Amino acid sequence: MRKFAAGRLKNALTRYLNNHTNLSSSQSRFLSSKTVLDSATSMADPSSSPVTLQTINPKVLKCEYAVRGEIVNIAQRLQQELLDKPGTLPFDEILYCNIGNPQSLGQHPITFFREVLALCDYPSILDKSETQGLFSADSIERAWKILDQIPGRATGAYSHSQGIKGLRDAIAAGIEARDGCPADPNDIFLTDGASPAVHMMMQLLISSEKDGILCPIPQYPLYSASIALHGGTLVPYYLDEASGWGLETSELKKQLEDAKSKGISVRALVVINPGNPTGQVLAEGNQRDIVEFCKKEGLVLLADEVYQENVYVPDKKFHSFKKVSRSMGYGEADISLVSFQSVSKGYYGECGKRGGYMEVTGFSADIREQIYKMASVNLCSNISGQILASLVMSPPKVGDESYDSYRGERDGILSSLARRAKTLEDALNSLEGITCNKAEGAMYLFPQINLPQKAIEAAKAAKTVPDTFYCRQLLNATGIVVVPGSGFGQVPGTWHFRCTILPQEDKIPAIVTRLTDFHKKFMDEYRD
At 392-444, the pLDDT tens digits run: 999 999 999 999 999 999 999 999 999 999 999 999 999 999 999 999 999 99
Choose the weakest-confidence range: 20-34, 47-61, 172-186, 464-478.
20-34
Strands (E), 196-332: 211-217, 233-238, 265-272, 300-304
Check residue 66 and give its pLDDT.
57
168-206 confidence digits (pLDDT tens) = 999 999 999 999 999 999 999 999 988 999 999 999 999
What distance in Å separates the CA atoms of residue 162 and residue 158, rounded to the nearest whole number? 11
- Specify the CATH superfamily of domain 58-106+406-526: Aspartate Aminotransferase, domain 1 (3.90.1150.10)
Check residue 30 and give its pLDDT.
34
Q: What mean pLDDT do residues 323-338 have?
A: 91
Q: What mean pLDDT do residues 57-84 have?
A: 76
What distance in Å separates the CA atoms of residue 361 and residue 159, rounded to the nearest whole number? 22
Percent of the chain with pLDDT over 90: 60
227-254 confidence digits (pLDDT tens) = 988 889 999 999 999 998 989 899 999 9
Check residue 7 and give its pLDDT.
47
Query: Is 434 within 8 Å of 447 (Cβ atoms)?
Result: yes
Q: What mean pLDDT do residues 122-150 have?
A: 85
Q: Which residue from 528, 513, 525 is spatially nearest to 473, judged by alpha carbons?
A: 525
Q: In what order do the strands lie in the sheet with 444-445?
A: 444-445, 497-500, 483-484
**Is 60 exceeded by the pLDDT of residue 8?**
no
Check residue 33 and give its pLDDT.
41
Max distance between CA atoms of the chain, in angstroms, equals: 82
**Is 90 exceeded by the pLDDT of residue 272?**
yes
Check residue 67 and give its pLDDT.
56
- Confidence band (pLDDT; 50, 70, 90) for 24? very low
Check residue 126 and give its pLDDT.
81
| Average model confidence (pLDDT) across the chain | 86
Check residue 134 and give its pLDDT.
84
Please give the residue that has the higher pLDDT: either 19 or 395.
Answer: 395
Q: What mean pLDDT do residues 441-448 have?
A: 94
Domain ranges, ordered by start, for the chain: 58-106+406-526, 158-393
What distance in Å separates the CA atoms of residue 119 and residue 130, rounded to the nearest whole number? 13
Query: Is 170 within 8 Å of 393 (Cβ atoms)?
Result: yes
What distance in Å separates the CA atoms of residue 253 and residue 290, rounded to the nearest whole number? 11
Q: What mean pLDDT do residues 375-391 have?
A: 90
Check residue 161 and give its pLDDT.
82
CATH of domain 158-393: 3.40.640.10
Check residue 131 and give its pLDDT.
67
Q: Which residue from 431, 417, 435, 425 is spatially nearest to 499, judged by alpha carbons?
A: 425
**Is 50 exceeded by the pLDDT of residue 491?**
yes
Q: Per-residue b/e over 303-320, b at no fewer than 16 CB within 10 Å?
A: bbbbbbbbbbeeebebbb
Q: How far is CA 381 from CA 41, 66, 152, 156, 190, in A?
A: 43, 26, 17, 11, 6
Q: Which three-class secondary structure state does DSSP give residue 237? A: strand
Q: What mean pLDDT do residues 66-77 have?
A: 77
**Is 50 exceeded by the pLDDT of residue 21?**
no
**Is 70 exceeded by the pLDDT of residue 26?**
no
Query: Is 413 within 8 Å of 347 (Cβ atoms)?
Result: yes
Q: Which helix (H) or strand (E) holds 499?
A: strand 497-500
Task: Report the residue count for the chain.
Answer: 528
